[in-house]
Amino acid sequence: MVTAFTVSGMLKSGYERQSQELLIKQAALTSASVLNSVQAEINLYLRTVACATMYEVGERSGDENEVTQRVTEVAKKLENGWLFPGVSLELSFDNLHQLLLWMPDGSLNIVGSVPAIAKHVMGPESHGLRIEVTALPRFRRLRQLSRIVTTLHENFPDLEDLLRELNENFRYEGFSFEEEPGGIVIRDLWAQKTLTSR
């Protein structure tokens, strides 16, 4: 009789231990999944913000410092923008300005790691967020082309000839030039429209 109780107690404690281990593993997977989800959303969000900021700053003939400052400001708003049941999330974008890299072709890449902790209520944690936003429009090159086109547009008598020459000269760089009301639009065919020359 005593042996049956002992075996029963051992089996019960074994099942409890196994179920506790399973719950901890599930909690660890949940915290990792939350962090992966947030990482994907942040990468997409930063790409959208960077492209929109380039367009906005380019329309005002701003410079790359304005772009980096605006992207950093908008990203800081995300630090407290996440709520998940059972998982607390801590993010810090204090070092984001160090991750903004202007490439030689004039494009902006945002690459690096951001401190982050996703902690499940049961204890397991996941750490770190990988930011990888590449192939953004070539803002610096577009800005330079916009200045050139503005000068040429003022001094070139025939707009159709100007557009034809610009398209021939810059097609291998991945740019196209089109007339739209109010000016000439430069399109980065490898990205998207970002600057308008008026």
Confidence bin at 99 (pLDDT 50/70/90): very high
Confidence at residue 8, expressed as pLDDT on a 0 to 100 scale: 62
Residues 117-172: tens digit of each pLDDT: 999 898 898 999 999 988 667 777 788 888 888 888 888 788 888 898 888 988 88
Provide CB contacts within 8 A for 58, sequence distance 6+: 139, 142, 143, 146, 194, 195, 196
Domain residue spans in the chain? Answer: 2-133, 139-197
Confidence bin at 62 (pLDDT 50/70/90): confident
Nearest to 69 by CA among 53, 51, 46: 53
Show the tokens assigned to 33: 């999944």
Confidence at residue 146, expressed as pLDDT on a 0 to 100 scale: 84
Q: Distance from CA of residue 74 to its chain's centroid?
A: 11
The backbone torsions φ and ψ at residue 157, rounded to the nearest 5 degrees and listed phi first, read -70, -35
Residues 161-195: tens digit of each pLDDT: 889 888 898 888 888 888 888 778 888 777 654 44
pLDDT at 196 over 60: no
Its pTM stands at 0.69
Which amino acid appears at position 74 of this protein? V
Confidence at residue 194, expressed as pLDDT on a 0 to 100 scale: 45
pLDDT at 1 over 60: no
Which amino acid appears at position 14 of this protein? G
Confidence at residue 193, expressed as pLDDT on a 0 to 100 scale: 47
Mean pLDDT is lowest, of 40-44, 70-74, 100-104, 190-194, for 190-194
Nearest to 149 by CA among 188, 121, 177: 177
Nearest to 68 by CA among 41, 102, 91, 42: 102
- CA–CA separation, 153 and 33 (whole Å): 53
CB of 151 closer than 8 Å to CB of 52: no
In b/e form, how buried is each residue of 96-121, taking b as 16+ CB within 10 angstroms? beebbeeeeebbbbbeeebebbbbbe
Provide CB contacts within 8 A for 187, sequence distance 6+: 175, 176, 177, 178, 193
Confidence at residue 110, expressed as pLDDT on a 0 to 100 scale: 92
Residues 2-27: tens digit of each pLDDT: 565 565 666 566 666 777 788 888 88
